[in-house]
């Protein structure tokens, strides 16, 4: 398992955090953020969860990754269903989306858009790639993202013949240009007991899988990763993982 599980003895570890109620202080958030009222991406079928990073000094200092369906449900012509797309901007207001083969679309025509990360043929990575979180570190891009597959029986979780549900994990990928990505050979985070298992969630207090929706950071000489997962009787919770080695290093 990649990214140190803090409750296990390994080079990587997982810290399960139970949800804790807390009173909120009254904050005037209108003074902290300004809404321009302008759309920056539009015309698509169903896309969301943008991750924007800044690269000062670059011709396009703002880079965005987001996911979903561009021109039609499940992105016809590409593997799986949900896929990750890429856009760039000089000023945060005017964006152009990657359209394949070095082309970019600034006309907001999603029929031209080409995904940069699509599902694979693994039990944990066949149907959904989404929730991208990207960090630029030492001249390369690093991404953590959610991947979902059909599990060991190869049948979709909504298929009446399915025996083991969906299988979700947090995958990783690296890139030199933010467009061409190489996925890690194995998930950054996956609950091994998920393999071949029909999740019971509320009916199963011992279930701790379904890792998804990561937030990746490079800080203090280590990779840090926050994610959500099903935490037994606590339900959906926030977890934390860290990696003191290379991004794609792995140890069970």
Q: Report residue 3's pLDDT band, with 50, 70 and 90 as the boundaries.
A: low
Which of 239, 151, 132 lies closest to 192 in space, CA to CA?
151
CB 226 within 8 A of CB 239: yes
CB 69 within 8 A of CB 75: yes
Pairwise pLDDT comparison (231 vs 203), residue with the higher score: 231
| Residue 28 in domain | no
CB 224 within 8 A of CB 216: yes
| Residue 129 in domain | yes
| Residue 251 in domain | no
Which of 77, 73, 55 lies closest to 64 in space, CA to CA?
55
- pLDDT at position 60 over 80: yes
| Residue 248 in domain | no
The residue-averaged pLDDT of 110-126 equals: 98
What count of Cα atoms within 13 Å lies in the side-chain half-sphere of residue 90? 2
Sheet holding 167-175, edge to edge: 128-137, 140-149, 167-175, 181-183
CB 148 within 8 A of CB 125: yes
Q: What residue has token string 């013949």?
A: 161
| Residue 5 in domain | no
Give the pLDDT confidence of 154-208 residue by residue, as tens digits. Answer: 999 899 999 998 999 999 999 999 999 999 999 999 999 889 988 776 667 778 8
Residue 180 belongs to what domain range?
A: 12-17+41-243
pTM of the model: 0.87
CB 171 within 8 A of CB 90: no
| Residue 211 in domain | yes
Residue ranges in the chain assigned as alpha helix (H): none
CB 148 within 8 A of CB 127: yes
CB 3 within 8 A of CB 226: no
- Quote the number of domains for the chain: 1
Give the pLDDT confidence of 99-109 residue by residue, as tens digits. Answer: 999 999 999 99
β-partners of residue 48 are 67
Q: Report residue 21's pLDDT band, with 50, 70 and 90 as the boundaries.
A: very low
Give the pLDDT confidence of 25-58 residue by residue, as tens digits. Answer: 566 766 778 888 889 999 999 999 999 999 999 9
3-class SS at 210? Answer: coil
| Residue 220 in domain | yes
Domain with residue 237: its CATH number is 2.115.10.20
| Residue 207 in domain | yes
Pairwise pLDDT comparison (129 vs 251), residue with the higher score: 129
């Amino acid at each position: 398992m990649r990214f140190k599980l803090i409750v296990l003895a390994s080079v990587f570890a997982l810290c399960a955090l139970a949800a804790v109620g807390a009173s909120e202080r009254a904050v005037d958030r209108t003074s902290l953020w300004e809404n321009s009222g302008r759309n920056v991406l539009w015309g698509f079928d169903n896309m969301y969860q943008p991750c924007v990073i800044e690269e000062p000094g670059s011709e396009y200092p703002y880079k965005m990754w987001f996911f979903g369906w561009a021109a039609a449900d499940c992105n016809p012509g590409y593997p799986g269903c949900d896929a990750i797309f890429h856009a760039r901007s000089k000023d945060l207001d005017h964006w152009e989306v990657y359209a394949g083969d070095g082309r970019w679309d600034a006309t907001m025509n999603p029929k031209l858009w080409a995904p940069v990360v699509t599902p694979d043929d693994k039990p944990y990575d066949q149907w959904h790639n989404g929730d991208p979180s990207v960090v630029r570190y030492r001249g390369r891009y690093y991404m953590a993202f959610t991947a979902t597959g059909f599990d060991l029986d190869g049948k979709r979780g909504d298929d009446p013949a399915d025996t083991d549900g969906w299988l979700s994990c947090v995958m990783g990928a690296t890139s030199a240009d933010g467009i061409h990505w190489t996925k890690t050979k194995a998930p950054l985070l996956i609950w091994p007991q998920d393999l071949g298992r029909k999740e019971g969630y509320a009916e199963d207090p011992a279930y701790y899988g379904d890792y998804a929706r990561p937030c990746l950071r490079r800080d203090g000489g280590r990779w840090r990763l926050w994610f959500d997962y099903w935490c037994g009787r606590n339900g959906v919770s926030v977890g934390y993982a860290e990696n003191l080695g290379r991004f794609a290093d792995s140890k069970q």
